[in-house]
Amino acid sequence: MSSRKKVWFEDAARKLDPGLVEQLRNSRKVNQNVTSNNEIPIIVYLKDNCNQDKKDDLLKACNADSHNKLSKELRSINGLKGNLTPDNIKQIKDHEAVERIFYDRIVTSCLDIACEQIGAVNVREQLNLTGNGVTIAVIDTGVHPHEDLTSPTNRIIAFQDFINGESEPYDDNGHGTHCAGDAAGNGSLSNGKYMGPAPEASIIGIKVLDKQGSGRLSTIIEGLEWCIDHKEEYNIRIISLSLGAPAYESFREDPLSLAAQAAWHQGIVVCAAAGNSGPAAATISTPAIDPFIITVGSTDDLNTLERTDDLIADYSSRGPTIDSLIKPDIYAPGTNIISLLAPDSAIESQLPEMIIDENYIQLSGTSMATPICAGIIALMLEANPNLSPNDIKSILKATSHPTLDDIWGYIEAESAARMAKSYLRIPTESVQGS
């Protein structure tokens, strides 16, 4: 039996999440002791009974010197974000205001035949649905004002930059622009060839990932909270999250999962990419682990209109989740998807061989499947604006096709839009007592 005495962060039980323990261990190795001025980005969960006096005392303890700062509130998860040294984390872990401390982990960014194959073309032609009047918030690397989003009218109705603080739409990485086109490109520069499912939907670009396509959990949470705050102003009905991080915690504890869930409960349909860590089991990323939101996996349509030869893409993450829940909820095409190119972006320089007709680029991943799903949801909400997020999820599942090796869940746009149009809601009238 080992007699080694545990270091304080190894003996903190559930006060510290495993990711933070790992960071503290690495910091200790580098510095050969537990005292270090290296700041670690963290998220602090506050206790439910935390009053303002306790919160102020915590802030005072954390902001006492230049090496520590804890100030930005994340109200959707009753938390705070900041950067603390290992010594300061040790100091506050047992503070009466603190429930738990998390490492603010890195999050990374995870339509020709695709649209026709899933039935989106039929929806436009037969049901006259284009996503008009529905707003999709794309939380990603930003959005370039590509002509397929700005002509004949500019459908980028807002832009929020949590990375560089810019006010005008841009995308230095290119991933978010591709995703916006996956959902709502109108094919203006391709004579309609590369068109998303909802070519008249409005787009909001929310930049939470940098030029390299990465960001922190807390920044994504800020983007989600911005959507909640501006839901009514911009009629935000859908959030598309083509990003993720490894899931180490239950959805009940995971910060990003809880924030996405908060948006869902505010009436916004949240779609999240399953992740690109397949085909191994139990590889669903956060926030896609959350049971409320719609988790989207990717198929490979083999570049044919036939659905019978389609496969679950090898890279698409598989369930179960860390909580042993069945995921993904739905599958959509995500392999070799041609969509909008952001000029002078990182993706343009990294993947020149994937550029199509100068204005488009071909990419694969659950990142592409997710906004395609979001575009179809825009059609459903145009058909019936009264649908709740739970209604949308139920309809998508009920109308999906069991064509993937007997696994149900392959998205079918026309059936979903038709059911949405005729879907009846139970009136929420007060019941008279007898």
Cis, peptide link before residue 385, omega less than 30° from 0: no
Quick check: is 214 catalytic?
A: no
Give the β-pairing of 135-140 and 360-363: unpaired
**Active-site residue flag, 178:** no
- 140: annotated active-site residue: yes
SS3 74: strand
Q: Between helices 389-399 and 366-383, what is the axis angle to 10°?
A: 110
In sequence order, the β-bridge partners of residue 215 are 107
Interhelix angle 175-184/366-383, rounded to 10 degrees, is: 40
Cross-strand partners of 297: 331
- Burial label for 96, CB within 10 Å (0-12, 13-18, 19+), is exposed
Q: Which residues contact 13 (CB under 8 A, 6 or more apart)?
A: none
Alpha carbons 196 and 368: distance in angstroms, whole number: 11
Distance CA 76, CA 260 (A): 9
Question: Residue 352: what residue type?
Answer: P
User: Would you state the torsion angle of the CA atoms of residues 367, 109, 245, 229, taken in this order, to the nearest 10 degrees?
Assistant: -90
* The pair of three-digit structure tokens given for residue 223, joined into one six-digit string: 């983007």
* Selected catalytic residue, list 17, 175, 310, 364: 175
The catalytic position among 27, 109, 367, 400 is 367
End-to-end Cα distance, the chain: 70
* Contact predicate 183/138, CB 8 Å: yes
Using alpha carbons, list the distances in angstroms from residue 79 to 72, 83, 108, 146, 306. 9, 14, 22, 37, 48
Tally the C-alpha atoms within 13 A of residue 102's C-alpha that lie toward its C-beta.
25
In 151-307, alpha helices (H)? 175-184, 217-229, 231-234, 255-265
> Active-site residue among 104, 112, 140, 301?
140
The catalytic residues are 140, 175, 367
